[in-house]
Structure 1
C-alpha cells in the first residue's frame, strides 16, 4: 500500500510571548480528503521543538511528518485547534504561518500572523482568490463561515452621533487578539504613564499657575528637544516661518489660493500694501494671495480648565507670496464677523498686537488639526476601512492581502484613544480649548465638510489651487508618493481583475465599499464617496486613497506634532484670555497671561511627544514582513513598489540637505504602513 507523507512546518515569530504551553492540533484538508496530526505539537516526540530557531530571521520552527494511505489532493485549508491544558495557565500564541510540503512536491503556505486563542481556526492556503475563483465546495463553505464569524467578532458601534462609526469594544482588551498589539498592553500603559517623566516634567503637571517669563518656558522646554523643535523655538515669532508652517508644518491642509476675498474679511489695499507697490486684485490674479479660514471653529463652546474659561478663535488669515518665494502673513482677523471690536491685525501693528494675533491663529490651528485632519481624517477613517475589511472580505481575497498590513494596530490604538484621549476624563478633553462639548461640535462639522476629493491629494491640491505655491514639500512629496502607491495598486489589482465586469460581480468587494459609505461617510452622497465600484479604475483610485490615508497622510499630521508643538508658544493647545478687541492693549505680560497654564502646557507637551513616536515594532511603508502574497506576480509588484519608495527616499534626503528645516514626514523610510500610534 502506498503511503503519502506530508511535512508540516509550524513557524512562530521571534517576539515576546510568541510561544504556548497549551496543546496544538492540526488537521490538513484537501480536495481528496483530510488527515489529523492526532497528537499535540507540544508533546508529540515526532515534532521538532519550538526552540529551534532560524538563524537569519530569529523565527522558531517546529516540523513533523504526517502520513496517509490516500492523497489529500490539492490542499485547501488547515484546521488548527489550540486546546487549553487545565494543568497549565492560559496563554495566547502568536503564530506566523504554517507550511506543508506534499508528497507530490508541492509547497502550500498558510499565513496567519496573529494571536491564536483557545479555539479552532481555519487557515486558507495563501493563493489569493476572489469569490468567483473559489469554486470548491469546502472552500466556499469556509469562506462563508469565516465572514459570519468575523461579523460576530467585529461589530459596528456609534461612539458619537454624526461621526464615523467604530468597532464595538468596551476596552482594547475586548478586541479580538488578532488585531491587538504584538507587544503587551503593560508595555503600552507604561509608555503612556512615563511621558511626563521622560520629558523631565515631573512636579509641573499639577501647577495651575501661569507662566511668569519666556525664560521659564524655555527652561522647561529644553529638557527634551528635537532638531526641528529647536528651530521652531528660534523662529516662532518670525512672519516667514509662520507662513511656512501652513505649507510644511504639521497641518498643511488649511491653506488655499485666494481668488476672491471673503465678504466677511474686509481687507483693503491700503492695509496690506501701504506703499502701493501691489494691489490685492492683481496679486490674486497672479496666484500670489492665499487664505486660511477657520470658520468651522466659529461659535464653538470652549473648555473650562482648572476653573478658568478657555478661548478659541475662528480666524481668517491672508498671506502673500513675495518675490523671493516666501509666504508672508499680511492680515489676520480673529473672529468671523467683522466689527469694530474685531480689528484686522497687520504686520505694521505693535509687536505684541501682531504676535498675539498669530498666537491665536496657531492655537486655532492646533484644535482644527487634531480633531479634523488627524483624528477624523486619518484615525477614524482608517478604522472604518479596517472594520469593513474584516467584516466583508475573507483572508484569501486579494484585497484583504493587500490592505491588511495597512490596518495593523489601528483598532487598538483607536480604542486606546477613546479611552485615554477623548473620553470624559481624557487628556484632550481635559486640557484642549475645544475639549468636551466643543470637540463634539467640531467633529460633526468636520464630518459634514468631508469629501472624497479632499482625501485624494492630487484632487485636493487642485481644488485648493496650490500647484504654484512656493516651497511646498508636502505637495511635492505627497504627489510623488500618491503616484507610486497608485502604480503599485493598479498593477497588482489588474492582475486579479481583468475587466470592469469582474469588479462589478465581486460581491465581497462591493460589500466592503457599501459599509464604508454607510459607516464612514454616513450615507451622504454629497461626500462624493462611491457606494459601489463599477470599474477597475474606480477601485484602484479608492484603494490608493485608503493606503495613502493610512500611511503617508497619517505621518504628515502625526509625526511632526512634537517638532512643531513641543515649544508651546508656537502651538498653544488652549488660551486663557479672549482675543483682543482693539489694538494697543497687548504686551509680553498679557501674552504670558494668555498662554495655557503650566499644567496644561506640560500635559500638551507630553501628549504630543507620545503621539509623535513610532510604535515599538515600527514597519515602514512598503515593507511586508508578513507573507500574505505568495504568488510570483504580486511579489514582483511588491518588489517594484519597494524600489520606487527607495528612489523617493533618496530624492527627499538629497533635497533636505539643502533645507534649513528638512521636510521628512513623507519620506517612505519614516512613514509607517498603518495608523499604529
Structure 2
C-alpha cells in the first residue's frame, strides 16, 4: 500500500464550511484510487471555514502523475449544506505535490471534477479521461450560462431573471450582499423620512437643494458645488470627470456648427482656422442623442438636447468657447458664447451637462463597461474550462459582474427601473441611444492607446485619465504578454486552440452582434492579436469601469452640475428673460432618486479586491506566478506615483489609482 497525503483548504468566507461527509477520488496516469471518505477525528469540523484539514488516502500502488480529483459531498443526518473549498493539495509517495484549484461552491450530492493546476490547452490533452472531464465541464457550463437577448439591438446577456438563478460561484458573497442591500435600504429610508421621494414639485431655490446635498457629501462633491459654474471646471470634467472619452481634436469644424472667427476671437485677436491647424480646438458632439423622444417624468414632458461644444486649448488650459444645443442650425438654435450674459451661458452649460449624463450612463458606463464585461464573462464561462490558461488569467476579472448586471436590469433599466422612470433618456430613447452607440463603437475606441491617438488628445495637459490610463494599459499589456507568451509560443498555437477561437467568436456574435464595422476580431490568428485583445478585456473590466463609475456621486451629487433630466425647453434666444433655472432643473423626487442611486453605485463593499490581487490562486506554475508578482509591484509603484502627483492638486484624480479599484465590474 502507498499513502497520499491530502490537504483540503476551505475558503475563509461566511457559510463556506460543511458538516456533510466529503469524499475524494484521485486520478493519475497509472490508475485511480477508490472513492475515499475524508475522515477526521474532529469530524466535519475539519472542513470549517478558513481551516486547513489533513487526510490520508491509501492505494494499492502508485497512481503515477496526478491530473484529476473527484469530490462529492453527501448528506449528514439528512442535512445538505454548501461547502466552498479553495483548493486541494496532494503529496504523492514519490514526494511530488499536486495542487488542484477549486474556488467554487459545492451544494449538491453530484461528483465534481477538478484538474491539477498546470494549465493545459485542449489539443495538449493526452489522457482520455482528462479530455472527457474537460468536455463534460463545458457541457455543464453551457447549461448553467445561457445567452439571452434582453433587448433587440443590444449585446446579449446571461439568461436569468433574478440573482438566485445564477450558479452560486458567480453570485455575491454574504458580505457583499448584506452591505449592498443595507446601503440601498438606508438611502430609501432617508428619502422616506424626509418626505422627498414623492414631492414632484420644482425646487424653490438653490438653498433648499443645498440643505439636501449637505446631508451626505464627499471632498470632491463639495469642490463641484463650489466650482460648477466655472468654465475651467466645465472643461476639466471632459478630461477627468466620469465621461473622459468624449472630447476629440477638431480637425474640421462640422458644417452644422457654424461658429465664426468673430464669435470666439474678439477684435481679431486670434484665428479659429489657425488654431484648428495647430491642434488647439476640441469638440464634443452629442449627435447620438439627436431626435430621440425624451421621457415623461411624474406626468411632465422632459427635454433632452444633442449639443455640440467647442473648446480652445490656451496657456495650458482647456476652455469652452461655443455651445449649440441642437444639431441643426436655425434662428431658434443660437450659438451660445462665454461673452453672452452669465445667465444665458450658464443655462447652455446646464443643458450640455444633462446631455452628458445621458451619454455617460447609457454609452460610456452601461454599454462600454457593464454590458461588454458581461459578454466577456459569459463567453469565458461557456467556452473555456478551468484548466485553460485564459480561464485562469481572466476569471478574476469576472467577479460579481453577472449578478450586478442582473440587478441593474431589474432596478435601473427595467420598465419600473430608476433610470427608466427618472432620466430624460429613460424609456423609448434609452434603447435607441444604446443601439446607436453599439453600432458606432470600434475596437480601437476600447484600446486606450489607439483611442487617445484617434481622438487626437495625447498632448492635452493635465489629462490625468489619459496619463494614468496609458500607464495602466502598458502595465497590463506587459503582464498579459508575459503570461500568454509562456503558453502560446507561436501563432500556430493560437490558431489551433479551438476553445480560444470559440471564445472570441462568441464575443463577436453575442457582444457586437456580428457587426464587422466595429473592427472586433472574429478569430485570433497571432499571439500579438491575442495579447492585445486580452489586455483590452482586463482594462475594460477594471480600469475603464473605475474611470467612468467611481466618480458618479462626486460629480453628480450636486445636481445642477449633472441634471438627470430637465423640465423646460432650452432657450431659443439670447438676452434678458425670466430666471427659470430652478423650474428647468429636475423636480425634487427626481433629484433625490438620482442622488441616492449614484451614492449606491459609487460605494464599494468591504470584500473589495484591487486590480492585480488574486486571492483565489488559479495559476500553480512558477513562471505565471512570478509574472503576477511583477504585475503587482508595477501597480504598486504606479499607485505611489499617482498619490505623489495628486498631493499638490486641488482636484486630485484618484479613479485610476490601482489601489482604489477592483479587478472586475463589481458595482
Please give the TM-score of this superposition, normalised by the length of structure 2: 0.97
Q: Which residue of 2 aligns with 1:285?
A: 277
Mapped contact 1:573–1:596 kept (Cα < 8 A) = yes
Aligned alpha-carbon RMSD (Å)? 1.6
1:91 is paired with a residue whose SS is: coil
Given the alignment of the two structures, is residue 598 of structure 1 paired with residue 588 of structure 2, yes or no? yes
Are the structure 2 counterparts of residues 200 and 665 from structure 1 closer, same or farther at C-alpha, using a change threshold of 3 Å? Answer: farther
State the distance in 1 between where 2:351 and 2:77 align: 62
Q: How does 1:50-65 map to 2 (within 5 A)?
A: 50=45, 59-65=50-56
> Is 1:50–1:61's contact at 8 Å kept on the other side of the alignment?
no
Give the secondary structure class of the aligned counterpart of 1:443: helix
Q: CA deviation at 1:47?
A: 6.3
Per the alignment, in what secondary structure is the counterpart of residue 265 of structure 1? coil
1:668 aligns to what? 658
| Separation (CA, whole Å) in 2 of partners of 1:199 and 1:135 | 62
Q: Which residue does 1:536 correspond to in 2?
A: 527
Shift of 1:66: 1.3
Equivalent-residue separation in structure 1 for 2:389 and 2:67 (angstroms) = 16
Q: Does 1:122 align with 2:113?
A: yes
Q: Distance in 1 between matches of 2:645 and 2:606?
A: 28
CA change 1:612–1:586 in 2 (3 A) is farther
Name the CA distance, whole Å, in 2 between partners of 1:136 and 1:477.
Answer: 46
Deviations 1:172-211 (A, max 9, x none): 1101111111226455433322224468974211111111
1:629 aligns with 2:619: yes
After the TM superposition, which residues 456-471 of structure 1 pair with which residues of structure 2 at under 5 Å, given as runs? 456-471=447-462
Map 1:355-394; keep pairs closer than 5 Å: 355-394=346-385
Match of 1:238 among 225, 230, 235: 230
Structure 2: how far apart are the matches of 1:207 and 1:198?
14
CA distance in 1, matches of 2:619, 2:194: 48
- Residue in 2 that maps onto 1:576: 567
The whole-number CA distance in structure 2 between the counterparts of 1:498 and 1:523 is 29
- Where do residues 130-529 of structure 1 align in structure 2 (5 Å cutoff)? 130-183=121-174, 185=177, 187-197=179-189, 202-323=194-315, 325-529=316-520
- The separation in 1 between residues aligned to 2:179 and 2:248, in whole angstroms, is 42
Three-state SS of the structure 2 residue aligned to 1:483 is: helix
Of residues 97-106 and 355-364 in structure 1, the stretch that sits farther from structure 2 once superposed is: 97-106
2:645 maps to 655
Deviations 1:340-380 (A, max 9, x none): 11111111111111101000100100110000010000000
Contact 1:313 1:364 in 2 (8 A): yes
Query: How far off is 1:49 after superposition?
Result: 5.3
1:86–1:451 CA distance, 2 compared to 1 (3 A)? farther
Deviation above 6 Å: which 4+ runs of structure 1? 198-201
How many residues of Structure 1 are paired with residues of Structure 2 in the alignment? Answer: 665
What are structure 1's unaligned runs of at least 5 residues? Answer: none
Indicate the SS of the match to 1:596.
coil
Q: SS of the residue aligned with 2:103?
A: strand
Is the partner of 1:478 in helix, strand or coil? helix
Does the CA-based 8 Å contact 1:201-1:220 persist in structure 2?
no
Give CA-to-partner distance per residue, 1:470-495, whole Å, 9 cap, x none.
Answer: 21111110001000000010011000
Find the counterpart in structure 2 of residue 111 from structure 1. 101
